[in-house]
């Protein structure tokens, strides 16, 4: 089978989506399939097959607001995305997609675009790794006279992306229900399939030990991920200020980069937590740093199925997550981790304090999480289920 894994977003990039695409290509290729990776260039002024470095550039005038007369909206976000979508489509038409038996898109934008240009013989499967409309509406689009126009536009994008493929794959019940009840997508072709994870490769990365060590006599609380608002790191820092009032037997490692890096550093400085909270930036030794930690915290305000939680579970760490999005489906409360209220620093402080105070409970949570994760996140099982969906999609396309 010749397969195209496609995304509207820039590749390569930080985050779980790119990791998933790379892992998926590796597994599919090992099974004898021919797989290409498609995404946007750094400035989204071309698309390219990453593994072949083949660039495709459509009508570049589309990206020029003065020359593109088809974009008439006054809303900034709608205007930007309309132009980017039109350009992606014009670029995609230069790629011979007739060569692919199946295209597996990774977001609502690429799904809608591919559906417009794909030939009759090519099946389409979409994996949605979150709700783009929800994220844009709650974290990016600011209140303005045209914001309602933007909400309506992205709601339609979400609907189209969830209903254009033969099958739409989501990681959990939370996202399936959101697509059906909030965006009115038809539920009959939405399938729940968790990502799976390359466990063997992850443990191989542990062989490259980090030079960083935990300070003597201190437990390590760790966050790994992008430093953006929706990850809720600012609430973690607020909770640590409260924790410092009662105990000082801990440090917190914040591993990652993003647009909130500077403002989070300022928050730490303002709260006089410089000795307790350490920013390590983006690093390649994350598995090693995780292995040296004691408590993993993900205080997200919006989340789907983050790989960072999977990695912490595989290493047998006590995990604290918020109740945002699909996170509660990854944790059995007080058995494989602790679930706290999103955006509630006091609740988070209480959970961290309990795990620092009760070592045996902390260890049991980690052991339970690891035992469950080693089986549940098996990539081999996930790939077998995915191949079955591919075959069903090709069959459905032939019937159509």
Check which CATH number belongs to the domain holding 286 and give it: 3.40.50.2000
Residue written as token pair 């494989």: 336
pLDDT tens by residue, 253-276: 999 999 999 999 999 999 999 999
Residues 61 and 192 in one domain: yes
Same domain, yes or no, for 76 and 63?
yes
The answer to whether residues 278 and 394 belong to one domain is no
- Clarify whether residues 250 and 330 are in a common domain: yes
Let me know whether 234 and 174 are in one domain: no
Cβ(84)–Cβ(156) under 8 Å? no
Residue 169 shares a structural domain with residue 149:
yes
Segment 307-366, tens digit of pLDDT: 999 999 999 999 999 999 999 999 999 999 999 999 999 999 999 999 999 999 999 999
pTM of the model: 0.91
363 shares a domain with 395: no
Q: Coil, strand, or helix at residue 200?
A: helix
Residues 76 and 42 in one domain: yes
The residue range of the domain holding 55 is: 2-196+379-399
Work out the pLDDT band at 68, boundaries 50, 70, 90: confident
Query: 181 and 35 in one domain?
Result: yes
Strand-pairing partners, residue 103, are 4, 124
Q: Which tokens is 275 given?
A: 């000795």
Give helix 147-163 / helix 76-92 axis angle, nearest 10°.
30
Mean pLDDT of 170-183: 96
Is the same domain home to 232 and 129?
no
Residue 226 has pLDDT above 90, yes or no: yes
pLDDT at residue 65, as a whole number: 72
Lookup result for tokens 């589309």:
62
Residue of 286, 284, 230 whose CA lies nearest to 254: 286
Q: Grade residue 94 by pLDDT with cuts at 50, 70 and 90.
A: very high
Q: What is the pLDDT of residue 67?
A: 72
Same domain, yes or no, for 283 and 172? no
CA gap 195, 285 in Å, rounded: 22
Overall domain count for the chain: 2
Choice among 68-77, 189-198, 293-302, 369-378 with the minimum mean pLDDT = 68-77
**Nearest alpha-carbon partner for 157 in 135, 178, 183, 139:** 183
Q: Which of 300, 306, 311, 305 is nearest to 171 (CA)?
A: 305
């Amino acid at each position: 089978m010749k397969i195209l894994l496609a995304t509207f977003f820039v590749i390569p990039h930080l985050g779980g989506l790119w990791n998933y695409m790379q892992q998926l290509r590796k597994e599919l290729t090992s099974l004898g399939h021919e797989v290409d990776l498609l995404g946007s260039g750094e400035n989204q002024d071309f698309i390219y097959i990453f593994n072949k470095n083949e660039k495709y550039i459509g009508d570049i005038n589309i990206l020029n607001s003065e020359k593109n007369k088809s974009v008439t909206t006054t809303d900034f976000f709608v205007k930007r995305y309309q132009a980017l979508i039109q350009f992606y489509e014009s670029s995609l038409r230069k790629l011979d997609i007739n060569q692919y038996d199946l295209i597996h898109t990774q977001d609502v934008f690429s799904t809608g675009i591919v559906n417009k240009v794909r030939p009759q013989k090519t099946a389409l499967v979409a994996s949605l790794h979150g709700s783009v409309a929800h994220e844009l509406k709650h974290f990016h689009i600011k209140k303005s006279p045209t914001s309602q126009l933007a909400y309506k536009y992205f709601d339609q994008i979400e609907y189209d992306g969830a209903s254009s493929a033969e099958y739409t794959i989501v990681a959990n019940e939370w996202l399936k229900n959101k697509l059906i009840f909030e965006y009115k997508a038809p539920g009959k072709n939405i399938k729940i399939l968790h990502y799976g994870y390359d466990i063997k490769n992850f443990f191989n990365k542990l062989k490259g030990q980090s030079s960083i060590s935990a300070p003597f006599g201190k437990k390590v609380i760790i966050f790994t991920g992008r430093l953006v608002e929706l990850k809720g790191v600012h609430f973690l820092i607020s909770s640590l200020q409260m924790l410092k009032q009662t105990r000082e037997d801990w440090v917190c490692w914040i591993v990652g980069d993003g647009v909130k890096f500077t403002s989070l550093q300022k928050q730490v400085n303002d709260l006089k937590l410089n000795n307790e909270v350490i920013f390590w930036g983006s690093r390649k030794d994350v598995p090693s740093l995780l292995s040296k930690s004691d408590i993993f915290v993900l205080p997200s305000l919006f989340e789907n199925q983050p790989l960072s939680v999977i990695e912490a579970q595989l290493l047998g760490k006590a995990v604290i997550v918020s109740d945002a999005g699909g996170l509660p489906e990854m944790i059995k409360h007080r058995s494989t981790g602790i679930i706290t209220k999103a955006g509630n620093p006091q609740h988070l402080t209480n959970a961290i304090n309990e795990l620092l105070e009760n070592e045996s409970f902390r260890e049991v949570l980690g052991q339970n999480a690891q035992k469950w994760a080693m089986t549940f996140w098996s990539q081999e099982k996930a790939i077998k289920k995915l191949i079955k969906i591919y075959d069903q999609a090709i069959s459905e396309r032939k019937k159509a």
